[in-house]
Amino acid sequence: MDPTKTLYFLVGPTAVGKTRFALEWAEAQGAEILSCDAFCVYKGMDIGTAKPTAEEQGRVPHHGIDLVDVDTLYSVADYTAEARAVVADVLSRGRDLLIAGGSGFYLKSFFAPVVDKIHVSPEIRERAGWIFETGGLEGAVDELRALNPAGLGDLDTKNPRRVARALERCLASGRSLAEQAEAFSRQGTPFDGFRRRVCLLERDTAELDRRAEARARAMLAEGLVEEVARLRGEGIEGNPSASKAIGYRETLRCLNGEYAEDELLAAITRNTRRLVRKQRTWFRTQIPVDRRVDAAKVSAAELFA
């Protein structure tokens, strides 16, 4: 990695206006854009993700878009590998790269470890399953305590899923939960050798609420229901990540008869606003922001001034 090279980040909550600012800044700088959106990686998820259009992608080269089919699981580890390749390629050609998006863990992967290197084999998963099958949750917790003589920390021992995951990881790594946590904290990221400049786009709450509703209304007018119906035929319901994306999960429920189509706008708007509030908290606490700007009062040229 070259510490003399800079990665630029434009982050912000849903509906704040990242796409327009990213396009204008990248176009003026002769830069390229790496999408940092957990759902733009899926082919066909276009309207509900507000994916950059073909015309917009023609103006500025984009990366991280349309990488896999909608029935394919895609993880933050997959994204980190993709991002590393994109960074190396774009910077090797002497161009700047703007990473733009609002997906929290995807963004955090540029600044801190988000996945560890513990591999849980099918044999280990089967062994943990046998422990659960023969001893139940209590037996699995007892096994975990034997593997963690110093204690289980803040592990929720009433949650079978978390207990199973902890047990699998202890069996696979041969290390206690505390040792795993310590090793994880020492991990770096593939991007530690770069300078990173982060601009956070903000708007006041009332304006974001208005834009969230306008966004949902536009998506429905552009054919979101038809898009989701097509994606249902392509297997989106079998993908626990893609099927839970806001706009898609509500529309799937509508198509499955859980509520009427005239309830969609309110449902999508409500859930988008909830997401925006979570995102704003995330950016304040998890991402090292260098500059905060009011999207209503700044130009693209001023983002990294």
Return the structure tokens found at 178: 């505390």
CA nearest 64: which of 44, 78, 48?
78
Residues with Cβ within 8 Å of 181's Cβ and at least 6 positions away in sequence, in order, are 153
Residue 226: helix, strand or coil by DSSP?
helix
Contact status, residue 99 vs residue 40, Cβ threshold 8 Å: no
Q: Compute the Cα dihedral for 275, 281, 287, 289 and give only its sign.
A: positive
What is the residue-level pLDDT of the chain in tens, covering all 305 positions? 455 699 999 999 999 999 999 999 999 999 999 999 999 999 999 999 999 999 999 999 999 999 999 999 999 889 999 999 999 999 999 999 999 999 988 999 999 887 777 888 889 999 999 999 999 999 999 999 999 999 998 889 999 888 998 999 899 999 999 988 888 777 777 888 899 999 999 999 999 999 999 999 999 999 999 999 999 999 999 999 999 999 999 999 999 999 898 999 999 999 999 999 999 999 988 899 999 999 999 999 999 98
Please give the C-alpha separations between residue 255 and each of 179, 219, 224, 248, in angstroms, as whole numbers.
Answer: 47, 16, 11, 10
Contact status, residue 6 vs residue 198, Cβ threshold 8 Å: no
How confident is the model over 62-84, as pLDDT tens digits? 999 999 999 999 998 899 999 99
Furthest CA-CA distance within the chain: 64
5/3 Cα distance (integer angstroms): 5
CA nearest 288: which of 175, 199, 166?
199
How confident is the model over 21-58, as pLDDT tens digits? 999 999 999 999 999 999 999 999 999 999 999 999 99
CB atoms within 10 A of CB 127: 14
**Structural domains for the chain:** 6-114+189-302 (3.40.50.300), 122-186 (1.10.20)
Residue type, 268: I
Q: Helices 160-173 and 177-186 meet at what angle, rounded to 10?
A: 70
CA nearest 104: which of 300, 238, 280?
280
